[in-house]
Amino acid sequence: MTIAIAPRSRKVRVLATLGPASNSREMIAKLFEAGADAFRVNMSHGDQASKVGVIQAIRSLEADYRRPTTILADLQGPKLRVGKFEGGRVELVTGSTFVLDRDPTPGDATRAELPHREIFAAIEAGARLLLDDGKLVLRVTEHDVDRITTTVEVGGPLSNNKGLNVPDVVLPMAALTDKDRSDLAFAVEQGVDWIALSFVQRPEDLMEARGLIKGKAALLAKIEKPAAIERLEEIVEQCDGVMVARGDLGVELPPEQVPPLQKRIVEVSRRLGRPVVVATQMLESMIQSPSPTRAEVSDVATAIYDGADAIMLSAESAAGAWPVESVAMMNAIGNAVERDPGHGDRVHFTVTKPDPTTADAMAEAAKGIARTTSAVAIICFTTSGSTARRVARERPSVPILVLTPQAETARRLGLLWGTHAVHTRDVESFEEMVAKAKRMALRHGIAKAGEQVVVMAGVPFRTPGSTNVIHVVRITGDELKDYGAAG
């Protein structure tokens, strides 16, 4: 059964992670109806075969709801871990000496194996080593090619293969493991729209992934390492989108540093015109509770006021007891914040000056024209999606209806602020452009009779990057007469 879903009334997007609680087609449809605009497939859990049905289920929503679906495949990245212990568990005492070495013999309270050659090559005296998501803290006192001696600054229990974080040095490790390369090839073959790259430390880390993707998906950089902050603008310039991965940032940095860094990452991403997702622990209590805490609601609202393109659910929708309710809550918070009369002013605290290009000048002008003429929408004709991204960067007060002949473009725009993308036939002339814009505005509930819309396109048509036309038109209300559902 085909159900036409009206465009979301909110502009911030909701990205929902799928998992054991939400992998079925029925649950994915419920999440979509509750407000999910895009779906994250976490490649860290399960095998590739288990992901095929999930991706197909997401895609099948397109026929049911007559709307492009957006899929983000999130690569695991390198996982640093210590070795095993005699008896499976030890207790590290604060103030004691603890050694990490290359010996695979099971460890004890004085030493353990560290099976990562790159750490020995990069570590420095005085650097911290964090164990078990930061619960234990070691300080390096001495090191050589196969031995790191540390002082235990914060002790506690430590068991087999617990995770290790190295926040204070840049590790000479590729962001892609063999598993990631296999998962990336699989995701591209399955036709996902976005690839999220973990463990990004420098802009060079994005190059291998970009080469392997070969333009078949957009590349999103997860900012989760302190080293990435030092070269943030370079990294953002090299990717198609950004994720504020607050989980690992909160492990490797003092927690009080994460909120200002979140704002900085959002600001830089917006200024450079890249979609930015705020992720991790947004509604953490809803893994077990049907309602969030007031602090969590405030946290989500802050990201929306800052102008983030998307807000993400992790375990809340993937493995929690209330996946549909958590998506519905994200949707409700987004709607409530954007109804605030002060929302528009706060979103524009970040100044996004246009680049000295015709396309950027047109995007800025479209926002001003829509405001001055009281137009109800901006309608973009685009092949690559660049026009829509430029307009969205301006954060106009009206919806952005994006018309594109490329299904891939329509799908990738599911993470972009304020857009409603429609996959439709291309136009051949200026007159056809105007007529189609008016029809689509009516058909998708963006405008009604008597209202004006701002139309943007490039002439000659079918030429990517040629945006050079702005036209204001008034809807009469009879534009759909004699036209079918797709025209």
Residue 266: closest CA among 231, 228, 306: 306
CA distances from 29 to 46, 254, 333 (A): 21, 39, 21
Beta bridge partners of 453: 473
Amino acid at 253: L
Other residues' Cβ atoms within 10 Å of the Cβ of residue 86: 11
Other residues' Cβ atoms within 10 Å of the Cβ of residue 480: 14
How far is Cα 98 from Cα 45, in angstroms, rounded to an integer? 32
How far is Cα 291 from Cα 80, in angstroms, rounded to an integer? 35
Amino acid at 339: R
108 backbone dihedrals φ, ψ, rounded to 5°: -145, -160
How far is Cα 101 from Cα 113, in angstroms, rounded to an integer? 5
Catalytic residue, from 17, 150, 280, 352: name it.
280
The whole-angstrom distance between residue 337's C-alpha and the CA centroid of its chain comes to 20
Other residues' Cβ atoms within 10 Å of the Cβ of residue 29: 18
Q: What are the tokens at 157? A: 């229990």
Catalytic residue, from 25, 30, 66, 81: name it.
81
Known catalytic residue at 81: yes
Residues 6 or more apart in contact with residue 243 via CB below 8 angstroms: 196, 220, 221, 222, 223, 276, 277, 278, 279, 312
Cβ(405)–Cβ(425) under 8 Å?
yes
Q: What are the tokens at 317? A: 């929708």
The whole-angstrom distance between residue 418's C-alpha and the CA centroid of its chain comes to 15
Known catalytic residue at 40: yes
SS3 track for 151-216: EEEECEEEECCCEEECCCCCCCCCCCCHHHHHHHHHHHHCCCCEEEECCCCCCCHHHHHHHHHCCC
Known catalytic residue at 280: yes
Catalytic residue, from 8, 10, 11, 40: name it.
40
Known catalytic residue at 222: yes
Distance in angstroms between the alpha carbons of the first and the last residue of the chain: 21
Amino acid at 142: E
The whole-angstrom distance between residue 124's C-alpha and the CA centroid of its chain comes to 33
**SS3 (DSSP) at 101:** strand
Q: What are the tokens at 104? A: 């695979």
Q: Enumerate the H helices of 66-138 as residue ranges.
A: 117-122
Q: Any idea which residues carry the catalytic annotation?
A: 40, 81, 222, 280
